[in-house]
Amino acid sequence: MLQVSRLVKQYKRFKAVDDLSFTISPGEIVGLLGPNGAGKTTALRCISGILRPTAGNVLINGHDVVLDQAKAKSGLAFVPEVPSLYELLTVDEHLRFVAMCFNTIDRYETLRDELLARYDLGEKRDMLVATLSKGMRQKLSVACALVHNANVLLFDEPMIGIDPAGARELRDELMRERNNGAAILISTHLLDTAEKLCDRVIIVARGHKVAEGTLQQLQHLSSREGQSLEDVFLALTEEGYAGSVVPLN
């Protein structure tokens, strides 16, 4: 389970994230949506422990990501928009290294061929990461997220740079992980993908959460009954919107 409580990230006088709270339960995919500069990536970096929050806290499976990093991160996998990979390792060495870091090398040995085939990395297993295209780097980054027993998965624009077949496989993978009990948070600008994939969405603007709920709840809040998530999103993020967050109980 992922619990974010009153998260704030401030840079001098600028608050990139301001009082953000939400919970993602096991077996749930939640979309984090917002315009450019809304604070989505900053929020994900705070949740993953890359950035230290100015205030608030993040719990991963009950462990504070700041106060108990090792236990919190043992259940976490983060796939950033721009993969940060070790370029002088081969594809196979990279996956093996990640598995060793999480003490799940036996799991990797079992899953290796399956993961390499699933993400079209089989023929590139002995190639250096430095030689991979952007799309293949993104696929490797996703594969790295699946070589340990993480049950909280964070994805920042995971479909960017992946070909249509790879994007479909990633969607199927996310559905499998959700059905296996993972709590999944996805930041994306692809609203049609979010509409089909996510159980509910969180919409942020200027660092604040402006709405949260299922598509039907957000349609009602925005007076856009029966309209697409794109129409709802534009209505809820337009300048001057003064609506309130949808209650989930």
| Residue 245 scores a pLDDT above 80 | no
Yes or no: domain 1-75+152-249 corresponds to CATH 3.40.50.300:
yes
| Residue 249 scores a pLDDT above 70 | no
CA 163 remoteness from chain centre: 19
| Residue 126 scores a pLDDT above 60 | yes
Mean pLDDT, range 198-207, rounded to an integer = 92
| Residue 129 scores a pLDDT above 80 | yes
At residue 246, the pLDDT reads 46
Tokens of 149: 């027993």
Sheet of 76-79, strand order = 76-79, 152-156, 183-187, 28-33, 200-205, 208-213
What is the share, in percent, of the chain residues with pLDDT greater than 90? Answer: 43
Top-confidence residue, 109 or 92: 92
Residue-wise pLDDT tens digits, 37-73: 888 999 999 999 999 999 999 999 999 999 998 898 8
The greatest distance separating any two alpha carbons of the chain, rounded to the nearest whole angstrom, comes to 54
C-alpha to C-alpha distance for 80 and 219, rounded to whole angstroms: 30
Residue type, 238: E
Tokens of 100: 């060793």
Contact 77, 153 (CB under 8 A): yes
C-alpha to C-alpha distance for 90 and 67, rounded to whole angstroms: 34
Banded model confidence at residue 17, pLDDT cuts 50, 70, 90: very high
C-alpha to C-alpha distance for 59 and 76, rounded to whole angstroms: 11
At residue 247, the pLDDT reads 43
As a residue count, the chain comes to 249
Top-confidence residue, 245 or 238: 238
Mean pLDDT, range 201-223, rounded to an integer = 90
Tokens of 96: 């093996």
Mean pLDDT, range 239-245, rounded to an integer = 44
Banded model confidence at residue 107, pLDDT cuts 50, 70, 90: confident
Residue type, 240: G
| Number of CB atoms found within 10 A of residue 82's CB | 14
What is the share, in percent, of the chain residues with pLDDT greater than 70? Answer: 96
Residue-wise pLDDT tens digits, 135-166: 888 888 888 888 887 899 999 988 877 778 77
Spell out the domain ranges in the chain: 1-75+152-249, 80-149
Q: What is the mean pLDDT of the chain?
A: 87
Residue-wise pLDDT tens digits, 79-98: 888 888 999 999 999 999 98
Please give the angle made by the CA atoms of 166, 204 and 37, to the nearest 5 degrees. 75
Tokens of 132: 């991979």
At residue 165, the pLDDT reads 79
